[in-house]
Structure 1
């Protein structure tokens, strides 16, 4: 006599949908230029700046620390946006070492982000700050460095170079 024990097979397949969603989300993170995050953060700061303007909001201190020299280290909102941008630029350069087909999509989307950044810098008053200019330079570095790093990585993968084979 056999007991009515539910099969383990449905449980094994129950997590497939969630796994597929996680893989799709990971793929989107790999393909999307991560520098869009600090650019969108800057956009949020600019849109919520109010009367004082974007520059005043960016200059607002998040915290300050006394230094041994007697001065104070002041960390402003604009500094945080730039720090986030630098971290994501580093990750973007690491992502550029991939030689898969999605790297081309990433480079293309990075170019689109640079285009929107240049338009924003030139056309909108809230984007004419040194913080946004440096974010725009980071997107430019991503656009320039991305394909160069990909080409170097592809040459290494295919064995093209000075010290190959000998």
Structure 2
């Protein structure tokens, strides 16, 4: 049952927690906060912001979500349905909540959409291989 929870709900919750907790402090964009910088051999400086870290972690979750979609069981249907609800939550929040009109939120929403596409595509491809004609 726990394995059916879509992992893409984590970025949705984290985004809302960060925005709710940090927007009252000076009104600055919390996602532009620099977490780390490193001098490169080329002479350039590489900077990691909170938004960049959120994208990397969300990509890792998307990878595991796609791995979950390769299961061929009745539970995968529930997983796809819940992933669709997560995408709808992203979409509704993007359209209706002012603090969600952010490029980071749009990228997270696109990842949730790709999760749905990948899940259904993998399921349909694997279901086609399971059919035997005699």
TM-score by length of 2: 0.91
| Cα distance between partner residues in 1 of 2:97 and 2:20 | 11
| 3-state SS in 1 of match to 2:73 | coil
Larger RCO, structures 1/2 (Cα 8 Å, 6+ apart): 2
1:46 matched to 2:19: yes
After TM superposition, the structure 1 stretch with the greater mean CA deviation from structure 2, 145-154 or 130-139, is 145-154
Going from structure 1 to structure 2, the CA distance change for 1:130 and 1:159 (only over 3 Å counts) comes to farther
Query: Shift of the alpha carbon at 1:150?
Result: 1.0
- The offset of 1:157, in angstroms, is 3.5
Offset at residue 158 of structure 1 (A): 3.7
Equivalenced residues, count:
133
Q: Which runs of 5+ in 2 are unaligned?
A: none
* Residue of 87, 99, 106 corresponding to 2:60: 87
Aligned to 2:126: 153
Contact 1:98-1:153 at 8 Å conserved across structures? no
Runs of 4+ in 1 over 2 A off after TM superposition: 154-160
Q: Go from structure 1 to structure 2 and tell me whether the alpha carbon gap of 1:60 and 1:154 turns closer, same or farther (over 3 Å shift).
A: same
Structure 1 distance, partners of 2:32, 2:26, is 11
Are the counterparts in 2 of residues 35 and 139 from structure 1 also a CA contact under 8 Å?
yes
**Structure 1 unaligned residues grouped into runs of 5+:** 1-26, 161-166
1:129 aligned onto 2:134: no
What is the distance in 2 between the residues matched to 1:159 and 1:136?
A: 37
Cα deviation, residue 159, structure 1? 5.2
Is residue 110 from structure 1 mapped to residue 83 from structure 2 by the alignment? yes
Over the aligned positions, Cα root-mean-square deviation in angstroms equals 1.7
In the alignment, which residue of structure 2 is the partner of 1:99? 72
Larger Rg: 1
Shift of 1:133: 0.3
